[in-house]
C-alpha cells in the first residue's frame, strides 16, 4: 500500500530459516517500488488467535487515510493446516509514515470459519465500499468447490457472512489469495477498489492451490445481487487466463493513488530442493511490480513492468535492421548479460511460410497444459517456418547452458495464425536435479504488420518476459552453473526457414537495486 509518501510491502517470512513455517508479516518500505529498506516485522504470532502463524491478508485504507490490515491467523496446529480465523491490526501511531508498530486488538478474531471450512478459510482481500457498507472476500474450498466467501460490515469490526458467495466454481479445489478489483474500460488509469460505477469491468483472480498458478476472469460486478459474473467465454481456473504463464503465484494487487495505477506483485517460489534453499539462506522472491490495465479488446489484461524499473538502466546498446537467417545467432555485446533489460521488435516479410499447427496437439494435451507441451516438444532446436526466433538469455560460452525466450508462428485453418511464446528452462542448466520446465502461452496479437515485440528482464536466476506489449508474460526460475556473472552471454537468434529481422533492439545493463 501507499501511505504518507512511502510504499509498504508486507510479506510472508520465516525469520528462523529458509523453509516453510514460523510465519510473520515482514515489512519493507520504498519510495519507488524498486529500492527497499527492511523494517522490523509488522505482525508476529503473539496471541491465541494467531499462535500458529500470521498468514496472508490485505490492507484497506479507511476514511481519513487510516490503514487497517486483515490477515489470517491459525489458532490450532490440527487439523492440518490448522483452524483458520480472520484478524485485524491497526497502526499504533498514524502519524508515523513508516508504520513501524501495529496493534492487534483483543476483540480478535473478528471472523471465525463455519464448521465445514476450518482449515480452508484464508487470505482476506482488500475491502471495498458498496451499498453503504464495507465488503471483502475470503478464499475457501468445500469438496473441490472453490469458494469466494462474501462478508459485509458497517464498522470494519463486526462482519456478517452473506447468504451467497461472491463467486464459486466446481472441481477446482482451494482458492487461495483471491483478489477482486475494478479496471477502467477507457485507458490505462488504475481504479481504487471501491470505484465501482461508470466505465468499469471487474477482475476476479485466484491462486489455485492444486496447480500453483494464478488465474483470472473479467466480468461484471452486479451490485444489486452482490455477485461477480464472469463475461461470456471466460474460463474459471484450470484452463483460464493467467497473469503470467510461468513461475508466478500468490499475487496481490493494490491501487497506487500517487500515480493513479493498479500494481500487481507476484511471487516466484523455488525450483531448488529444501536442502539447497537452506544452504543459500533464502527461498522465494518477489518479482518486478507490474502495471495492470484492461486490453482494448476487453478480453484480457495487459501487464507491464513499472516505469521506475528504468531508473536502474545503465548505458544502452542498440541493434537495428539486422537480418537473421536460418540458424543465425548474434551476440548482444557491451552489456552485463547476467543482469539486463532487453526490448526487441522482430519483423518478417511474410506469414506464408509459417508451419502448420498440428491439430493432434489439441487431442493429446489438456487445454491448461497445451502451450507448455508444444514448447517442450518443439523447443528451439526443431526448425519451423516462422520461428523459433527470440532471445538466448543466460547463455554459457559454448552453449552448454542457455535459457531461450522465443516465438513460433503457426498457420491454422480456422484462425489463420496462432502465435506461441515460450520460455524454456530445459537447457538452462547442466544440473539435472533442478526442476526445468518448459513454459508457454499463446499471444492474442494481430500480425497484420508482420511484427512482434519481446521484452525480457534478466536477473541471474530469473527471467521475466513480455510479448506484444504485455499481452503474454512468462517468468522462469533457472539455476545455471556455467552461465553466471561475467561468464554470461546474450543472443538474438532465428531457427526458422523464413528470414527474420531485428527491426530494433535496445538493451541495458541493469544496476543493482537496494534490497533487504
- The pLDDT value given to residue 85: 96
Nearest to 213 by CA among 492, 506, 442, 474: 474
Nearest to 136 by CA among 156, 118, 116, 108: 156
pLDDT mean over 268-290: 88
Window from 14-18, 35-39, 501-505 with minimum mean pLDDT:
14-18
Answer positive or negative: Cα dihedral of 160, 162, 167, 173.
positive
- pLDDT bracket for residue 322 (50, 70, 90): very high
Q: What is the pLDDT of residues 404-446, one digit of tens each?
A: 999 999 999 876 899 999 999 999 999 888 889 999 999 999 9
pLDDT mean over 265-292: 90
* Residue 80 scores a pLDDT above 90: no
What is the fold of 315-509? Jelly Rolls (2.60.120)
pLDDT mean over 215-227: 97
Show the beta-strand stretches assigned E in 92-199.
Answer: 102-103, 121-122, 128-130, 133-142, 145-153, 160-161, 167-169, 175-184
- pLDDT bracket for residue 344 (50, 70, 90): very high
- pLDDT bracket for residue 388 (50, 70, 90): very high
* Mean pLDDT score of the chain: 95
pLDDT mean over 274-288: 90
Question: Strand pairing of 301-305 and 102-103?
Answer: unpaired
* Residue 467 scores a pLDDT above 90: yes
Are the C-beta atoms of residues 317 and 504 closer than 8 Å to each other?
Answer: no
- pLDDT bracket for residue 83 (50, 70, 90): very high
- The pLDDT value given to residue 81: 66
How is the chain split into domains, by residue range?
Answer: 2-307, 315-509
Are the C-beta atoms of residues 304 and 469 closer than 8 Å to each other?
Answer: yes
Q: In the chain, what is the greatest distance between 2 CA atoms, to the nearest angstrom?
A: 69
* Residue 328 scores a pLDDT above 80: yes
- The pLDDT value given to residue 434: 85
* Residue 78 scores a pLDDT above 90: no
Rounded CA-CA distance 60/83 in Å is 24
* Residue 102, all three cell numbers: 501495529
Nearest to 182 by CA among 198, 195, 166: 195
* Residue 511, all three cell numbers: 544496476
Nearest to 380 by CA among 428, 339, 337, 435: 428
What CATH class has 2-307?
Answer: mainly beta
Two domains, one topology: 2-307 and 315-509 = no
* Residue 115 scores a pLDDT above 80: no
Amino acid at each position: 500500500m501507499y501511505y504518507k509518501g512511502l510504499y509498504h510491502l508486507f510479506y510472508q517470512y520465516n525469520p528462523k530459516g529458509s523453509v516453510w513455517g514460523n510465519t510473520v508479516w515482514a515489512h519493507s518500505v520504498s519510495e519507488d517500488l524498486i529500492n527497499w529498506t527492511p523494517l522490523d516485522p509488522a505482525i508476529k504470532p503473539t496471541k491465541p488467535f494467531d499462535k500458529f502463524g500470521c498468514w496472508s491478508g490485505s490492507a484497506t485504507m479507511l476514511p481519513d487515510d487510516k490503514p487497517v490490515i486483515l490477515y489470517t491467523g491459525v489458532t490450532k496446529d490440527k487439523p492440518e493446516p490448522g483452524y483458520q480465523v480472520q484478524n485485524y491490526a491497526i497502526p499504533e501511531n498514524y502519524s508515523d509514515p513508516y508504520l513501524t508498530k501495529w496493534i492487534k486488538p483483543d476483540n480478535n478474531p473478528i471472523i471465525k470459519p463455519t464448521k465445514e471450512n476450518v482449515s480452508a478459510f484464508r487470505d482476506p482481500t482488500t475491502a471495498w465500499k458498496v451499498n453503504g457498507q464495507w465488503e471483502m472476500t475470503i478464499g475457501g474450498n468445500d469438496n473441490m468447490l472453490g469458494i469466494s466467501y462474501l462478508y459485509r460490515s458497517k464498522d470494519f469490526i463486526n462482519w456478517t457472512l452473506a447468504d451467497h458467495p461472491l463467486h464459486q466454481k466446481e472441481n477446482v479445489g482451494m482458492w487461495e489469495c483471491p483478489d477482486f478489483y475494478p479496471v477502467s474500460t477507457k485507458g490505462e488509469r488504475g481504479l481504487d477498489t471501491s470505484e465501482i460505477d461508470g466505465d468499469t469491468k471487474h477482475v476476479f483472480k485466484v491462486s489455485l492451490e492444486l496447480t500453483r498458478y494464478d488465474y483470472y476472469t473479467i466480468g461484471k460486478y452486479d451490485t444489486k445481487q452482490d455477485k461477480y459474473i464472469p463475461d461470456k467465454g471466460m474460463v474459471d481456473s484450470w484452463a483460464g487466463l493467467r497473469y503470467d504463464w510461468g513461475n508466478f503465484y500468490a499475487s496481490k494487487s493494490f491501487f497506487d493513488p500517487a500515480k493513479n495505477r493498479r500494481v500487481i506483485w507476484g511471487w516466484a517460489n523455488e525450483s531448488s530442493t529444501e536442502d539447497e534453499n537452506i544452504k543459500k539462506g533464502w527461498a522465494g522472491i518477489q518479482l518486478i511490480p507490474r502495471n495492470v490495465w484492461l486490453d482494448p479488446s476487453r478480453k484480457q489484461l495487459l501487464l507491464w513492468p513499472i516505469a521506475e524499473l528504468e531508473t536502474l538502466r545503465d548505458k544502452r546498446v542498440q541493434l537495428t535492421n539486422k537480418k537473421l537467417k536460418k540458424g543465425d545467432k548474434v551476440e548482444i555485446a557491451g552489456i552485463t548479460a547476467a543482469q539486463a533489460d532487453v526490448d526487441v521488435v522482430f519483423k518478417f516479410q511474410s506469414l506464408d511460410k509459417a508451419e502448420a499447427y498440428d491439430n493432434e496437439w489439441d487431442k493429446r494435451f489438456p487445454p491448461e497444459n497445451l502451450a507448455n507441451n508444444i514448447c517442450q516438444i518443439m523447443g528451439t532446436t526443431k526448425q519451423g517456418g516462422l520461428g523459433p526466433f527470440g532471445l538466448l538469455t543466460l547463455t554459457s560460452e559454448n552453449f552448454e547452458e542457455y535459457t531461450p525466450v522465443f516465438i513460433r508462428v503457426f498457420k491454422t485453418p480456422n484462425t489463420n495464425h496462432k502465435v506461441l511464446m515460450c520460455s524454456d528452462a530445459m537447457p538452462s542448466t547442466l544440473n539435472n536435479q533442478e526442476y526445468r520446465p518448459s513454459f508457454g502461452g499463446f499471444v492474442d496479437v494481430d500480425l497484420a504488420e508482420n511484427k512482434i515485440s519481446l521484452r525480457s528482464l534478466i536477473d541471474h536466476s530469473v527471467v521475466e518476459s513480455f510479448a506484444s506489449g504485455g499481452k503474454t508474460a512468462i517468468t522462469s526460475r533457472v539455476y545455471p552453473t556455467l552461465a553466471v556473472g561475467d561468464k554470461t552471454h546474450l543472443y538474438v537468434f532465428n531457427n526458422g526457414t523464413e528470414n527474420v529481422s531485428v527491426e530494433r533492439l535496445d538493451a541495458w545493463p541493469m544496476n543493482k537495486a537496494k534490497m533487504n
